[in-house]
Structure 1
Amino acid sequence: MDFINILKVIFLGVVEGITEWLPISSTGHLILVDEFIKLNASADFKEMFNVVIQLGAIMAVVVLYFSKLNPFSSTKTAGQKKATWVLWFKVALASIPAGVLGLLFDDFLEEHFHSFLPVAIMLILYGVLFIIVENRNKGKEPTTFTLGTLSYQTAFIIGLFQVLSLIPGTSRSGATIIGAILIGCSRYVAAEFTFFLGIPVMFGASGYKIYKFLKIGNSFDMTQTVLLLLGSIVAFVVSIIAIKFLMNYIKKNDFKVFGWYRIALGVIIIAYWLIVK
Protein backbone atom coordinates (compact mmCIF):
# COMPACT_ATOMS: atom_id res chain seq x y z
CA MET A 1 0.00 0.00 0.00
CA ASP A 2 1.29 3.46 -0.95
CA PHE A 3 2.44 5.24 2.23
CA ILE A 4 2.04 8.67 0.60
CA ASN A 5 -1.56 7.81 -0.28
CA ILE A 6 -2.19 6.88 3.36
CA LEU A 7 -0.88 10.29 4.48
CA LYS A 8 -3.14 11.97 1.92
CA VAL A 9 -6.17 10.06 3.22
CA ILE A 10 -5.33 11.05 6.81
CA PHE A 11 -5.12 14.69 5.73
CA LEU A 12 -8.44 14.43 3.88
CA GLY A 13 -10.00 12.90 6.99
CA VAL A 14 -8.76 15.84 9.07
CA VAL A 15 -10.19 18.31 6.55
CA GLU A 16 -13.55 16.48 6.55
CA GLY A 17 -13.69 16.30 10.34
CA ILE A 18 -13.11 20.04 10.72
CA THR A 19 -15.15 21.39 7.82
CA GLU A 20 -18.20 19.13 8.13
CA TRP A 21 -19.35 20.88 11.29
CA LEU A 22 -17.91 24.34 10.97
CA PRO A 23 -20.11 26.22 8.45
CA ILE A 24 -17.40 26.44 5.78
CA SER A 25 -18.29 23.53 3.42
CA SER A 26 -16.64 20.12 3.73
CA THR A 27 -17.34 19.05 0.14
CA GLY A 28 -16.02 22.34 -1.15
CA HIS A 29 -12.82 22.00 0.85
CA LEU A 30 -12.30 18.39 -0.25
CA ILE A 31 -12.69 19.43 -3.91
CA LEU A 32 -10.16 22.21 -3.39
CA VAL A 33 -7.71 20.01 -1.49
CA ASP A 34 -7.83 17.50 -4.34
CA GLU A 35 -6.44 20.19 -6.63
CA PHE A 36 -3.19 20.22 -4.66
CA ILE A 37 -3.10 16.81 -2.97
CA LYS A 38 -4.08 14.26 -5.58
CA LEU A 39 -5.29 10.99 -4.09
CA ASN A 40 -3.84 8.14 -6.12
CA ALA A 41 -7.19 6.62 -7.07
CA SER A 42 -9.74 6.62 -9.86
CA ALA A 43 -12.09 9.57 -10.33
CA ASP A 44 -15.05 7.35 -9.42
CA PHE A 45 -13.43 6.26 -6.16
CA LYS A 46 -12.47 9.82 -5.17
CA GLU A 47 -15.99 11.07 -5.84
CA MET A 48 -17.42 8.32 -3.66
CA PHE A 49 -14.67 8.67 -1.01
CA ASN A 50 -15.41 12.39 -0.47
CA VAL A 51 -18.98 11.53 0.52
CA VAL A 52 -18.54 8.23 2.35
CA ILE A 53 -15.91 9.50 4.82
CA GLN A 54 -18.68 11.78 6.08
CA LEU A 55 -19.98 8.65 7.82
CA GLY A 56 -17.07 8.96 10.20
CA ALA A 57 -18.03 12.56 10.88
CA ILE A 58 -21.68 11.73 11.49
CA MET A 59 -20.78 8.91 13.87
CA ALA A 60 -19.18 11.57 16.06
CA VAL A 61 -22.62 13.15 16.44
CA VAL A 62 -24.16 9.76 17.26
CA VAL A 63 -21.56 9.14 19.96
CA LEU A 64 -21.59 12.62 21.49
CA TYR A 65 -25.38 12.92 21.53
CA PHE A 66 -26.31 9.26 21.98
CA SER A 67 -28.20 9.85 25.20
CA LYS A 68 -30.22 12.73 23.76
CA LEU A 69 -30.95 10.82 20.54
CA ASN A 70 -31.77 7.42 22.09
CA PRO A 71 -35.56 6.98 22.55
CA PHE A 72 -35.06 3.59 24.20
CA SER A 73 -32.86 4.76 27.07
CA SER A 74 -33.83 3.14 30.37
CA THR A 75 -32.85 6.33 32.19
CA LYS A 76 -35.51 8.39 30.42
CA THR A 77 -39.05 8.89 31.61
CA ALA A 78 -41.99 8.14 29.32
CA GLY A 79 -42.28 11.84 28.58
CA GLN A 80 -38.60 12.13 27.70
CA LYS A 81 -38.83 9.10 25.40
CA LYS A 82 -41.82 10.65 23.66
CA ALA A 83 -39.91 13.93 23.25
CA THR A 84 -37.00 12.02 21.69
CA TRP A 85 -39.31 10.36 19.17
CA VAL A 86 -40.81 13.76 18.35
CA LEU A 87 -37.30 15.09 17.71
CA TRP A 88 -36.61 12.20 15.31
CA PHE A 89 -39.91 12.87 13.50
CA LYS A 90 -38.87 16.49 13.04
CA VAL A 91 -35.46 15.40 11.72
CA ALA A 92 -37.13 12.95 9.32
CA LEU A 93 -39.51 15.65 8.04
CA ALA A 94 -36.69 18.14 7.54
CA SER A 95 -34.64 15.54 5.64
CA ILE A 96 -37.24 15.00 2.91
CA PRO A 97 -36.49 18.03 0.64
CA ALA A 98 -32.74 17.42 0.35
CA GLY A 99 -33.24 13.66 0.09
CA VAL A 100 -35.66 13.93 -2.83
CA LEU A 101 -33.87 16.68 -4.74
CA GLY A 102 -30.47 15.13 -4.07
CA LEU A 103 -31.55 11.91 -5.78
CA LEU A 104 -33.08 13.79 -8.71
CA PHE A 105 -30.21 16.18 -9.42
CA ASP A 106 -27.09 14.37 -8.14
CA ASP A 107 -25.61 13.72 -11.59
CA PHE A 108 -26.38 17.24 -12.82
CA LEU A 109 -24.78 18.85 -9.78
CA GLU A 110 -21.67 16.67 -10.05
CA GLU A 111 -21.25 17.59 -13.70
CA HIS A 112 -21.77 21.34 -13.38
CA PHE A 113 -20.83 22.40 -9.84
CA HIS A 114 -17.99 20.15 -8.61
CA SER A 115 -15.26 22.52 -9.72
CA PHE A 116 -13.20 25.49 -8.57
CA LEU A 117 -15.30 28.47 -9.64
CA PRO A 118 -18.75 27.37 -8.34
CA VAL A 119 -17.19 26.42 -4.99
CA ALA A 120 -15.47 29.81 -4.69
CA ILE A 121 -18.66 31.70 -5.57
CA MET A 122 -20.69 29.77 -3.01
CA LEU A 123 -18.04 30.30 -0.34
CA ILE A 124 -18.18 34.06 -0.87
CA LEU A 125 -21.97 34.28 -1.27
CA TYR A 126 -22.75 32.45 1.96
CA GLY A 127 -19.91 34.19 3.75
CA VAL A 128 -21.61 37.50 2.96
CA LEU A 129 -24.97 36.06 4.03
CA PHE A 130 -23.57 34.98 7.40
CA ILE A 131 -22.38 38.51 8.09
CA ILE A 132 -25.66 40.06 6.90
CA VAL A 133 -27.80 37.68 8.95
CA GLU A 134 -25.73 38.17 12.10
CA ASN A 135 -25.83 41.97 11.72
CA ARG A 136 -29.58 41.85 11.04
CA ASN A 137 -30.22 39.75 14.13
CA LYS A 138 -27.93 41.71 16.43
CA GLY A 139 -29.86 42.56 19.56
CA LYS A 140 -32.86 40.44 18.58
CA GLU A 141 -34.04 37.74 20.93
CA PRO A 142 -34.55 34.28 19.35
CA THR A 143 -38.02 32.77 19.60
CA THR A 144 -36.81 29.15 19.79
CA PHE A 145 -34.37 28.32 22.58
CA THR A 146 -34.76 24.53 22.83
CA LEU A 147 -35.24 21.63 20.45
CA GLY A 148 -38.44 20.80 22.31
CA THR A 149 -40.04 24.08 21.25
CA LEU A 150 -38.89 23.71 17.64
CA SER A 151 -42.11 23.29 15.64
CA TYR A 152 -42.62 20.87 12.75
CA GLN A 153 -43.10 23.84 10.45
CA THR A 154 -39.81 25.38 11.53
CA ALA A 155 -38.04 22.02 11.12
CA PHE A 156 -39.37 21.65 7.58
CA ILE A 157 -38.28 25.19 6.65
CA ILE A 158 -34.79 24.41 7.94
CA GLY A 159 -34.91 21.30 5.73
CA LEU A 160 -35.69 23.52 2.75
CA PHE A 161 -32.59 25.57 3.49
CA GLN A 162 -30.59 22.34 3.57
CA VAL A 163 -31.45 21.86 -0.13
CA LEU A 164 -29.15 24.80 -0.90
CA SER A 165 -26.20 22.77 0.38
CA LEU A 166 -26.48 20.37 -2.56
CA ILE A 167 -24.26 22.86 -4.39
CA PRO A 168 -20.62 22.35 -3.29
CA GLY A 169 -19.15 25.30 -1.42
CA THR A 170 -22.46 26.16 0.26
CA SER A 171 -22.01 24.02 3.41
CA ARG A 172 -24.81 21.89 4.75
CA SER A 173 -24.32 23.20 8.26
CA GLY A 174 -23.93 26.74 6.94
CA ALA A 175 -27.18 26.71 4.94
CA THR A 176 -29.23 25.16 7.73
CA ILE A 177 -27.77 27.37 10.45
CA ILE A 178 -28.48 30.51 8.41
CA GLY A 179 -32.02 29.30 7.77
CA ALA A 180 -32.62 28.40 11.41
CA ILE A 181 -31.33 31.75 12.70
CA LEU A 182 -33.41 33.66 10.14
CA ILE A 183 -36.61 32.05 11.37
CA GLY A 184 -35.90 32.66 15.03
CA CYS A 185 -33.77 29.81 16.39
CA SER A 186 -30.95 30.47 18.79
CA ARG A 187 -27.46 29.70 17.50
CA TYR A 188 -27.24 26.74 19.87
CA VAL A 189 -30.52 25.19 18.67
CA ALA A 190 -29.59 25.92 15.05
CA ALA A 191 -26.27 24.11 15.43
CA GLU A 192 -27.67 21.12 17.33
CA PHE A 193 -30.55 20.57 14.91
CA THR A 194 -28.09 20.84 12.04
CA PHE A 195 -25.98 18.09 13.59
CA PHE A 196 -28.97 15.77 14.00
CA LEU A 197 -30.29 16.58 10.54
CA GLY A 198 -27.00 15.37 9.11
CA ILE A 199 -27.53 11.81 10.36
CA PRO A 200 -30.17 10.59 7.84
CA VAL A 201 -28.86 12.85 5.09
CA MET A 202 -25.26 11.62 5.30
CA PHE A 203 -26.19 7.97 5.72
CA GLY A 204 -28.47 8.29 2.70
CA ALA A 205 -25.93 10.15 0.59
CA SER A 206 -23.14 7.71 1.46
CA GLY A 207 -25.30 4.69 0.68
CA TYR A 208 -26.30 6.21 -2.65
CA LYS A 209 -22.71 7.01 -3.61
CA ILE A 210 -21.59 3.46 -2.79
CA TYR A 211 -24.51 2.12 -4.85
CA LYS A 212 -23.53 4.31 -7.83
CA PHE A 213 -19.88 3.29 -7.47
CA LEU A 214 -20.75 -0.41 -7.58
CA LYS A 215 -23.47 -0.02 -10.21
CA ILE A 216 -21.04 1.13 -12.91
CA GLY A 217 -18.95 -1.99 -12.48
CA ASN A 218 -16.52 -0.96 -9.77
CA SER A 219 -15.67 -3.08 -6.75
CA PHE A 220 -13.77 -2.52 -3.53
CA ASP A 221 -10.33 -4.04 -3.25
CA MET A 222 -8.48 -4.31 0.04
CA THR A 223 -6.57 -1.06 -0.50
CA GLN A 224 -9.71 0.95 -1.20
CA THR A 225 -11.48 -0.55 1.80
CA VAL A 226 -8.59 0.36 4.10
CA LEU A 227 -8.44 3.90 2.71
CA LEU A 228 -12.18 4.39 3.26
CA LEU A 229 -12.00 3.07 6.81
CA LEU A 230 -8.91 5.13 7.63
CA GLY A 231 -10.44 8.34 6.27
CA SER A 232 -13.67 7.71 8.19
CA ILE A 233 -11.87 6.98 11.47
CA VAL A 234 -9.77 10.14 11.21
CA ALA A 235 -12.88 12.17 10.32
CA PHE A 236 -14.64 10.69 13.37
CA VAL A 237 -11.90 11.65 15.83
CA VAL A 238 -11.42 15.14 14.43
CA SER A 239 -15.21 15.71 14.26
CA ILE A 240 -15.56 15.12 17.99
CA ILE A 241 -13.03 17.89 18.61
CA ALA A 242 -14.64 20.21 16.03
CA ILE A 243 -18.18 19.74 17.40
CA LYS A 244 -17.10 20.43 20.98
CA PHE A 245 -15.19 23.51 19.83
CA LEU A 246 -18.13 24.90 17.86
CA MET A 247 -20.71 24.38 20.62
CA ASN A 248 -18.44 26.11 23.14
CA TYR A 249 -17.56 28.88 20.69
CA ILE A 250 -21.14 29.89 19.87
CA LYS A 251 -22.07 30.26 23.54
CA LYS A 252 -20.30 33.64 23.48
CA ASN A 253 -19.66 34.37 19.81
CA ASP A 254 -21.55 34.73 16.55
CA PHE A 255 -20.84 33.17 13.14
CA LYS A 256 -19.34 36.22 11.44
CA VAL A 257 -15.77 34.93 11.74
CA PHE A 258 -16.77 31.98 9.54
CA GLY A 259 -18.32 34.40 7.07
CA TRP A 260 -15.07 36.35 6.77
CA TYR A 261 -13.10 33.13 6.44
CA ARG A 262 -15.35 31.99 3.58
CA ILE A 263 -15.01 35.31 1.77
CA ALA A 264 -11.22 35.34 2.09
CA LEU A 265 -10.90 31.74 0.91
CA GLY A 266 -13.27 32.33 -1.99
CA VAL A 267 -11.29 35.36 -3.16
CA ILE A 268 -8.01 33.41 -2.96
CA ILE A 269 -9.54 30.56 -4.97
CA ILE A 270 -10.83 32.89 -7.69
CA ALA A 271 -7.43 34.59 -7.90
CA TYR A 272 -5.76 31.18 -8.24
CA TRP A 273 -8.33 30.09 -10.84
CA LEU A 274 -7.75 33.23 -12.93
CA ILE A 275 -3.95 33.12 -12.70
CA VAL A 276 -3.21 29.40 -12.87
CA LYS A 277 -6.21 27.95 -14.66
Structure 2
Amino acid sequence: MDMHYLTVILLGIVEGLTEFLPVSSTGHLILASELLGYDASTWAMFNVVIQLGAILAVVVLYWRTFWAVATGLLRREPVSWRFLRNLLVAFLPSAVIGLALHSYIEVLLGAPQVVAWALIAGGIAILLIERMVKKAQYHGIADIPLPQVIGIGFIQCIAMIPGVSRSGATIMGALTLGVERRTAAEFSFFLAIPTMLGASTLELLKKGDQITGGSVGWGSIALGFAVSFVVALLVIKWFVGLVSRRGFAPFAWYRIVAGAAALIWLAAR
Protein backbone atom coordinates (compact mmCIF):
# COMPACT_ATOMS: atom_id res chain seq x y z
CA MET A 1 0.00 0.00 0.00
CA ASP A 2 1.17 3.54 -0.78
CA MET A 3 2.77 5.10 2.33
CA HIS A 4 0.57 8.17 2.00
CA TYR A 5 -2.66 6.19 2.26
CA LEU A 6 -1.22 4.00 5.01
CA THR A 7 -0.62 7.19 7.02
CA VAL A 8 -4.19 8.32 6.26
CA ILE A 9 -5.64 5.06 7.57
CA LEU A 10 -3.40 4.95 10.66
CA LEU A 11 -4.29 8.53 11.62
CA GLY A 12 -7.98 7.80 11.08
CA ILE A 13 -7.72 4.80 13.40
CA VAL A 14 -5.86 6.82 16.05
CA GLU A 15 -8.47 9.58 15.90
CA GLY A 16 -11.43 7.18 16.09
CA LEU A 17 -9.85 5.22 18.94
CA THR A 18 -8.86 8.16 21.11
CA GLU A 19 -11.33 11.02 20.51
CA PHE A 20 -13.81 9.87 23.17
CA LEU A 21 -11.47 7.98 25.48
CA PRO A 22 -9.81 9.98 28.30
CA VAL A 23 -6.38 9.57 26.70
CA SER A 24 -6.14 12.64 24.37
CA SER A 25 -6.64 12.22 20.63
CA THR A 26 -4.61 15.36 19.87
CA GLY A 27 -1.75 14.11 22.04
CA HIS A 28 -1.74 10.75 20.29
CA LEU A 29 -1.76 12.38 16.85
CA ILE A 30 1.22 14.56 17.86
CA LEU A 31 3.14 11.54 19.15
CA ALA A 32 2.17 9.61 16.01
CA SER A 33 3.80 12.32 13.88
CA GLU A 34 7.02 11.88 15.87
CA LEU A 35 6.89 8.09 15.75
CA LEU A 36 5.99 7.74 12.06
CA GLY A 37 8.28 10.57 11.00
CA TYR A 38 5.83 12.48 8.81
CA ASP A 39 5.62 16.28 8.64
CA ALA A 40 3.04 17.23 11.29
CA SER A 41 2.38 20.66 9.77
CA THR A 42 1.42 19.06 6.43
CA TRP A 43 -1.18 16.89 8.15
CA ALA A 44 -2.44 19.45 10.69
CA MET A 45 -5.58 20.36 8.75
CA PHE A 46 -6.26 16.69 7.99
CA ASN A 47 -6.12 15.85 11.72
CA VAL A 48 -8.64 18.58 12.52
CA VAL A 49 -11.16 17.68 9.81
CA ILE A 50 -11.21 13.92 10.44
CA GLN A 51 -12.37 14.66 13.99
CA LEU A 52 -15.74 15.35 12.39
CA GLY A 53 -15.92 11.67 11.45
CA ALA A 54 -15.74 10.75 15.12
CA ILE A 55 -18.35 13.43 15.90
CA LEU A 56 -20.70 11.95 13.28
CA ALA A 57 -20.42 8.62 15.12
CA VAL A 58 -21.97 10.26 18.21
CA VAL A 59 -24.84 11.66 16.15
CA VAL A 60 -25.52 8.23 14.58
CA LEU A 61 -25.33 6.28 17.86
CA TYR A 62 -27.45 8.77 19.83
CA TRP A 63 -29.84 9.86 17.11
CA ARG A 64 -32.82 8.87 19.25
CA THR A 65 -31.66 11.19 22.02
CA PHE A 66 -31.19 14.08 19.60
CA TRP A 67 -34.56 13.40 17.96
CA ALA A 68 -36.27 13.34 21.36
CA VAL A 69 -34.62 16.64 22.32
CA ALA A 70 -35.53 18.25 18.97
CA THR A 71 -39.18 17.23 19.19
CA GLY A 72 -39.23 18.22 22.87
CA LEU A 73 -37.98 21.70 21.97
CA LEU A 74 -40.83 22.07 19.49
CA ARG A 75 -43.26 21.05 22.23
CA ARG A 76 -41.52 23.42 24.67
CA GLU A 77 -40.75 20.62 27.11
CA PRO A 78 -38.59 21.93 30.01
CA VAL A 79 -36.32 18.87 30.06
CA SER A 80 -35.35 19.37 26.40
CA TRP A 81 -34.63 23.05 26.93
CA ARG A 82 -32.47 22.25 29.96
CA PHE A 83 -30.57 19.65 27.90
CA LEU A 84 -29.85 22.22 25.17
CA ARG A 85 -29.03 24.94 27.71
CA ASN A 86 -26.52 22.73 29.48
CA LEU A 87 -24.69 21.83 26.26
CA LEU A 88 -24.49 25.44 25.09
CA VAL A 89 -23.42 26.82 28.47
CA ALA A 90 -20.72 24.16 28.88
CA PHE A 91 -19.46 24.93 25.36
CA LEU A 92 -19.12 28.71 25.82
CA PRO A 93 -15.93 28.81 27.97
CA SER A 94 -13.94 26.76 25.45
CA ALA A 95 -15.27 28.89 22.58
CA VAL A 96 -14.23 32.18 24.22
CA ILE A 97 -10.92 31.03 25.69
CA GLY A 98 -10.04 28.98 22.59
CA LEU A 99 -10.42 32.03 20.35
CA ALA A 100 -8.42 34.21 22.73
CA LEU A 101 -5.54 31.75 23.14
CA HIS A 102 -5.55 30.15 19.69
CA SER A 103 -2.01 31.25 18.75
CA TYR A 104 -0.57 29.99 22.07
CA ILE A 105 -2.34 26.65 21.68
CA GLU A 106 -0.82 26.18 18.22
CA VAL A 107 2.67 26.57 19.72
CA LEU A 108 1.96 23.80 22.24
CA LEU A 109 0.78 21.51 19.45
CA GLY A 110 4.37 21.23 18.30
CA ALA A 111 5.70 20.06 21.68
CA PRO A 112 5.61 16.24 22.08
CA GLN A 113 7.31 16.50 25.51
CA VAL A 114 4.32 18.51 26.75
CA VAL A 115 2.04 15.71 25.54
CA ALA A 116 4.06 13.04 27.37
CA TRP A 117 4.04 14.91 30.70
CA ALA A 118 0.34 15.76 30.32
CA LEU A 119 -0.48 12.09 29.75
CA ILE A 120 1.26 11.14 32.99
CA ALA A 121 -0.23 14.01 35.02
CA GLY A 122 -3.70 13.26 33.66
CA GLY A 123 -3.39 9.59 34.54
CA ILE A 124 -2.45 10.42 38.13
CA ALA A 125 -5.34 12.90 38.33
CA ILE A 126 -7.83 10.25 37.13
CA LEU A 127 -6.64 7.78 39.79
CA LEU A 128 -6.99 10.42 42.52
CA ILE A 129 -10.43 11.53 41.36
CA GLU A 130 -11.64 7.93 41.15
CA ARG A 131 -10.73 7.53 44.83
CA MET A 132 -12.17 10.86 45.94
CA VAL A 133 -15.42 10.95 43.99
CA LYS A 134 -18.54 10.87 46.12
CA LYS A 135 -21.95 9.37 45.47
CA ALA A 136 -23.49 10.71 42.26
CA GLN A 137 -26.28 13.27 42.59
CA TYR A 138 -27.18 13.84 38.93
CA HIS A 139 -28.25 11.02 36.62
CA GLY A 140 -29.27 12.88 33.47
CA ILE A 141 -27.75 15.69 31.42
CA ALA A 142 -30.85 17.84 31.80
CA ASP A 143 -30.71 17.33 35.58
CA ILE A 144 -27.26 18.92 36.03
CA PRO A 145 -27.65 22.35 37.68
CA LEU A 146 -26.28 25.44 35.94
CA PRO A 147 -23.35 26.10 38.36
CA GLN A 148 -22.05 22.56 37.81
CA VAL A 149 -22.48 22.93 34.04
CA ILE A 150 -20.43 26.15 34.07
CA GLY A 151 -17.75 24.36 36.11
CA ILE A 152 -17.57 21.50 33.61
CA GLY A 153 -17.26 24.02 30.78
CA PHE A 154 -14.27 25.72 32.37
CA ILE A 155 -12.64 22.40 33.29
CA GLN A 156 -12.89 21.34 29.64
CA CYS A 157 -10.62 24.27 28.77
CA ILE A 158 -7.69 22.54 30.50
CA ALA A 159 -7.70 20.19 27.51
CA MET A 160 -6.32 23.02 25.36
CA ILE A 161 -2.99 21.72 26.65
CA PRO A 162 -2.22 18.83 24.25
CA GLY A 163 -2.16 15.50 26.04
CA VAL A 164 -4.70 16.47 28.71
CA SER A 165 -7.72 15.02 26.84
CA ARG A 166 -10.94 16.95 26.24
CA SER A 167 -13.11 13.95 27.09
CA GLY A 168 -10.98 13.12 30.14
CA ALA A 169 -11.15 16.66 31.53
CA THR A 170 -14.90 16.88 30.92
CA ILE A 171 -15.68 13.47 32.43
CA MET A 172 -13.45 13.91 35.49
CA GLY A 173 -14.79 17.42 36.03
CA ALA A 174 -18.35 16.12 35.86
CA LEU A 175 -17.57 13.31 38.33
CA THR A 176 -16.10 15.72 40.88
CA LEU A 177 -19.24 17.86 40.56
CA GLY A 178 -21.59 14.97 41.35
CA VAL A 179 -22.51 13.60 37.91
CA GLU A 180 -23.00 9.83 37.54
CA ARG A 181 -20.36 7.97 35.46
CA ARG A 182 -22.43 7.06 32.41
CA THR A 183 -24.04 10.50 32.30
CA ALA A 184 -20.61 12.15 32.60
CA ALA A 185 -19.32 10.11 29.65
CA GLU A 186 -22.38 10.87 27.50
CA PHE A 187 -22.24 14.57 28.39
CA SER A 188 -18.64 14.52 27.16
CA PHE A 189 -19.74 12.89 23.87
CA PHE A 190 -22.49 15.44 23.28
CA LEU A 191 -20.33 18.39 24.30
CA ALA A 192 -17.75 17.28 21.72
CA ILE A 193 -20.19 18.14 18.93
CA PRO A 194 -20.27 21.96 19.29
CA THR A 195 -16.69 22.04 20.60
CA MET A 196 -15.13 20.13 17.70
CA LEU A 197 -17.42 21.70 15.09
CA GLY A 198 -16.27 25.10 16.32
CA ALA A 199 -12.58 24.13 16.30
CA SER A 200 -12.82 22.53 12.84
CA THR A 201 -14.69 25.53 11.38
CA LEU A 202 -12.06 27.92 12.76
CA GLU A 203 -9.23 25.86 11.24
CA LEU A 204 -11.01 25.59 7.88
CA LEU A 205 -11.54 29.36 7.75
CA LYS A 206 -7.89 30.06 8.60
CA LYS A 207 -6.12 27.28 6.70
CA GLY A 208 -8.62 25.84 4.23
CA ASP A 209 -6.22 26.54 1.36
CA GLN A 210 -3.93 23.82 2.74
CA ILE A 211 -6.42 21.21 1.54
CA THR A 212 -6.65 22.32 -2.08
CA GLY A 213 -3.06 23.53 -2.32
CA GLY A 214 -1.31 20.96 -0.14
CA SER A 215 -0.23 17.36 -0.50
CA VAL A 216 -3.17 16.08 1.59
CA GLY A 217 -6.25 16.51 -0.60
CA TRP A 218 -9.97 15.92 -0.26
CA GLY A 219 -9.67 12.24 -1.19
CA SER A 220 -7.31 11.55 1.71
CA ILE A 221 -9.49 13.56 4.06
CA ALA A 222 -12.59 11.60 2.99
CA LEU A 223 -10.80 8.31 3.67
CA GLY A 224 -9.54 9.47 7.07
CA PHE A 225 -13.01 10.77 7.93
CA ALA A 226 -14.59 7.39 7.07
CA VAL A 227 -12.00 5.42 9.06
CA SER A 228 -12.36 7.61 12.16
CA PHE A 229 -16.17 7.37 11.90
CA VAL A 230 -16.23 3.56 11.80
CA VAL A 231 -13.65 3.14 14.57
CA ALA A 232 -15.39 5.69 16.81
CA LEU A 233 -18.72 3.86 16.37
CA LEU A 234 -17.16 0.74 17.85
CA VAL A 235 -15.20 2.54 20.58
CA ILE A 236 -18.08 4.59 22.02
CA LYS A 237 -20.31 1.55 22.73
CA TRP A 238 -17.40 -0.37 24.26
CA PHE A 239 -16.30 2.63 26.35
CA VAL A 240 -19.72 3.29 27.91
CA GLY A 241 -20.06 -0.37 28.88
CA LEU A 242 -16.56 -0.49 30.36
CA VAL A 243 -16.77 2.63 32.51
CA SER A 244 -20.17 1.57 33.82
CA ARG A 245 -18.57 -1.65 35.12
CA ARG A 246 -14.95 -0.81 35.92
CA GLY A 247 -14.56 2.97 36.03
CA PHE A 248 -11.72 4.97 34.48
CA ALA A 249 -8.66 3.47 36.21
CA PRO A 250 -7.60 1.34 33.17
CA PHE A 251 -7.27 4.51 31.11
CA ALA A 252 -5.32 6.22 33.88
CA TRP A 253 -2.71 3.45 33.94
CA TYR A 254 -2.54 3.46 30.15
CA ARG A 255 -1.84 7.21 30.18
CA ILE A 256 0.93 6.85 32.74
CA VAL A 257 2.64 4.01 30.86
CA ALA A 258 2.23 5.69 27.44
CA GLY A 259 3.50 9.03 28.75
CA ALA A 260 6.54 7.45 30.42
CA ALA A 261 7.33 5.42 27.29
CA ALA A 262 7.04 8.57 25.15
CA LEU A 263 9.43 10.49 27.43
CA ILE A 264 12.00 7.69 27.29
CA TRP A 265 11.70 7.41 23.51
CA LEU A 266 11.92 11.20 22.97
CA ALA A 267 14.99 11.42 25.21
CA ALA A 268 16.72 8.55 23.40
CA ARG A 269 16.27 9.95 19.88
The TM-score bracket by the shorter chain reads over 0.9
Shift of 1:148: 2.7
Name the aligned partner's letter for residue 261 of structure 2. I
Name the aligned partner's letter for residue 230 of structure 2. V
Shift of 1:84: 2.5
2:70 to 63, 69, 72: 72
Does structure 2 retain, via aligned residues, the 8 Å contact 1:21–1:173? yes
Q: 1:217-273: per-residue Cα shift (whole Å, max 9, x none)?
A: 545159610111111111011001010001111121110111111011111111112
The gaps in structure 2 that reach 5 residues or longer are none
Matched residue of 1:23: which SS? coil
CA distance in 2, matches of 1:119, 1:147: 30
2:164 to 165, 170, 174: 170
Q: 1:121-174: per-residue Cα shift (whole Å, max 9, x none)?
A: 10000100000011112xx32111222311122111111110000110000000
Partner of 1:95: 91
Does structure 1 retain, via aligned residues, the 8 Å contact 2:108–2:162? no
Partner of 1:274: 267
Q: 1:65-92: per-residue Cα shift (whole Å, max 9, x none)?
A: 1121233349x9947x542232122111
Matched residue of 2:91: which SS? helix
Q: Does 1:4 align with 2:12?
A: no
CA distance in 1, matches of 2:10, 2:210: 25
Q: Does 1:212 align with 2:211?
A: no
2:108 to 97, 103, 112: 112
Which segment drifts farther, 108-117 or 238-247?
108-117
Identity rate, percent: 37
2:239 to 242, 246, 249: 246
TM-score (normalizing by structure 2): 0.93
2:51 to 54, 60, 66: 54
RMSD: 2.0
Aligned length: 267
Matched residue of 2:139: which SS? coil
Matched residue of 1:252: which SS? helix
Shift of 1:95: 0.5
Q: Does 1:85 align with 2:78?
A: no
Partner of 1:156: 150
Shift of 1:44: 4.2
Partner of 1:260: 253
Name the aligned partner's letter for residue 217 of structure 2. Q
Partner of 1:17: 16
Q: 1:38 to 1:273 in 2, by over 3 A?
A: closer
TM-score (normalizing by structure 1): 0.90
